[in-house]
Structure 1
Amino acid sequence: MPSSREETARTILSAIATGSIPLGRFTADARWWWNGGIDISVAEFDTLLGTLHAQMADGIHVTPGLIMEAGEHLFVEATSHSLLKNGTLYDNRYVFLFRFAGDRIALVKEYSDSAHVKVVFALG
């Protein structure tokens, strides 16, 4: 049976496809860090996600695989397979590290193929 933290992480990853994440699942000072060069508040990440979502044919679908919980941390291996409106395929692999404070997420560290992200979304 999945833990409540695992269910929370799955909810966040599933919500990415909608272009907005449920901010109530995060602490007030939560951060989203990405190995491609961002370290922003979760609210700022939500805005960025909306911008990326606008380019997608049907959202960024993140599929969790292996999930491991250790203390206040939850690790999720995941993949995505999504199509942009311009026909470009966004197909990435991730490791997400969620750090919890109680039942809320305090930090998300997203590791992915940052070069693929920058090329597909024309981020320079």
Structure 2
Amino acid sequence: MNISANQRLVTEYLRHMERNDFAAALELAHGDANFWMPGLGNLSKGELLSFFQQVGPMIKSMVFTLHGITEQGERLAVEASGCGELANGKVYNNEYHFLFVVRDGKIALMKEYADTAPASVFLE
């Protein structure tokens, strides 16, 4: 099965996120990229990096299982499950739908749709 350069790019982004390598993940995005996450709203690349630097130490490990990628032009829809072990010993599981827009080989936009209730394990 052939996978496009854009699919490789978004998959690489998610793999960097699994390793808590946020700087490497964000290197795959344009300098003026926009990121949207539930509860946080729109974030610049720098704001997202700051957020992940705060949250990263709470995450011991994270694995995304990709269930499908649909690509139409520069837009990619990614269905995924996430399973993580947290520093507090809790397990974090969630279902995700990501929308990526890729321009000129870099991420221009990422929107993450997920249930916010499972995140309560971060605070327990």
Q: Report the TM-score, using the length of structure 1 for normalisation.
A: 0.88
Match of residue 15 from structure 2: 14
The equivalent residue for 1:93 is 95
Change (3 A) 1:85 1:24: closer
Q: How much is the aligned-residue C-alpha RMSD, in angstroms?
A: 1.6
Deviation of the 1:37 alpha carbon: 3.1
Deviation at 1:41, TM superposition (A): 1.0
Quote the residue 1:27 is aligned against.
Answer: 30
Name the residue aligned to 2:78: 76
Q: Which amino acid aligns with 2:47?
A: E
Query: In structure 2, which of residues 39, 44, 54 is the aligned counterpart of residue 36 of structure 1?
Result: 39
- Give the C-alpha shift of residue 54 in structure 1: 0.3
SS in 1 for 2:59: coil
The TM-score normalised by the length of structure 2 is 0.88
Superposed CA deviations along residues 70-116 of structure 1, whole A, max 9, x for unmatched, are: 11100100011111121111101000000112211100000001122
Greater strand share, structure number: 2
Letter in 2 for 1:50: Q
Q: Secondary structure at the match of 1:28?
A: strand
Question: 1:33: how far off?
Answer: 0.2
- Partner letter of residue 115 of structure 1? A
Alpha-carbon shift at residue 63 of structure 1 (Å): 2.0
Q: Which amino acid aligns with 1:34?
A: M
Q: Report what 2:107 is aligned to.
A: 105
Structure 1's unaligned 5+ residue stretches are: none
* In 2: Cα distance, 1:4 partner to 1:57 partner: 30
Cα distance in structure 2, aligned partners of 1:120 and 1:109: 22
Equivalent residues of 1:20, 1:50 under 8 A apart = no
What code does the residue aligned with 2:7 have? E
